[in-house]
Amino acid sequence: MPVSSSKCTLTPDIPSREYFERNTIMTSPTPSPKGTALVTGASAGIGAVYADRLARRGYDLILVARNAGRLQALAARLSAETGRSVQTIAADLNDKAGLSKIEAVLRKDPSITMLVNNAGVGSVASVLNADIDEMEAMIFLNITALTRLTYAVAPVFASKASGTIINISSAVGIAVELLNGVYSASKSYVLSFGHTLQRDLADKGVRIQTVLPAATATDFWDVAGYPKQKESASTMTAGDLVDAALAGLDQGELVTIPTLHDGESWTRWETDRRALAPQFANAKPAPRYALPAGKA
């Protein structure tokens, strides 16, 4: 489950070439043949591990988060250890101006070959205790920002007949009763959105993977208000989570659930779900509703 990073000052206007030169920690002598991966929520947790693993796989990086200091430190380390070009953009995706900057980068930078939509925030509060403004902000980050970034890059990838979009959902997108209802619903959206992206983009050469972490040992739990979950025996490390997710990507999985050991149970669940669709096409209500004669 992804975590949002600490707030910092946004950079002005749409990032220019000069902006990137000032914020590139290290430039490789030659661009990576794998292209550039843009990772949101990259300053800590799952996003930072994705950045690490993708750099070691040979990708150049554009790292996005609110905490400029953490981004710079991570970029410096990854550049030194991998030799890849690492750019950083401090931006708040809950702010429309910050979000539009990243949309512009995705539309205009031809080197980008992968988008990892990881930025997000969660909660464990019930509807009786949660602050509605915080819930609205969660919806914007977990749904609106992810959607807009995907819409920005999808046409670019489709025009090149290549590219990968990885959207981080959550196991509570299925097990919806476990945490806060708005959080669960936002992650159900990401899962459903991924299915339709696969329908629309697979034949155009664009790969879509939806990743469903369960409890993962990151600062997510501190932000959500339940830090002791990080100490649970059932909580996965962020490293194992990302390594499994990338293995699933390598294997061609459309949906990856690293903690689910019985993979066939997901296949059966998906098959049953899809089999329901034709059964909805009825002009009359089902007999169980026992409508009076002439009304059914």
- The Cα-based distances of 181 to 127, 146, 150, 211 in angstroms read 7, 19, 24, 19
Q: Which amino acid is at 2?
A: P
- The rounded distance, in Å, linking the Cα atoms of 156 and 142 is 22
For residue 71, pLDDT beyond 60: yes
- The Cα-based distances of 28 to 53, 59, 98, 108 in angstroms read 17, 11, 27, 20
Distance of CA 231 to the CA centre of its chain: 24
Average pLDDT rounded to a whole number, residues 176-201: 95
Among 256, 191, 197, 211, smallest CA distance to 2 is for 211
DSSP-based three-state secondary structure for 288: helix
For residue 9, pLDDT beyond 50: no
* 183 is known as an active-site residue: yes
- The rounded distance, in Å, linking the Cα atoms of 200 and 150 is 12
Q: Choosing from 19, 183, 189, 289, which is the catalytic residue?
A: 183
Domains of the chain: 17-264 (3.40.50.720)
Q: What's the pLDDT tens digit per position in 82-131? A: 999 999 999 999 999 999 999 999 999 999 999 999 999 888 888 898 89
pLDDT band, residue 292 (cuts 50/70/90): confident
Question: Beta strand pairing status for 207-211 and 60-65?
Answer: unpaired
The structure tokens 């708040």 sit at 92
Q: What's the pLDDT tens digit per position in 228-279? A: 776 777 789 999 999 999 999 999 999 999 999 999 999 999 999 999 999 9
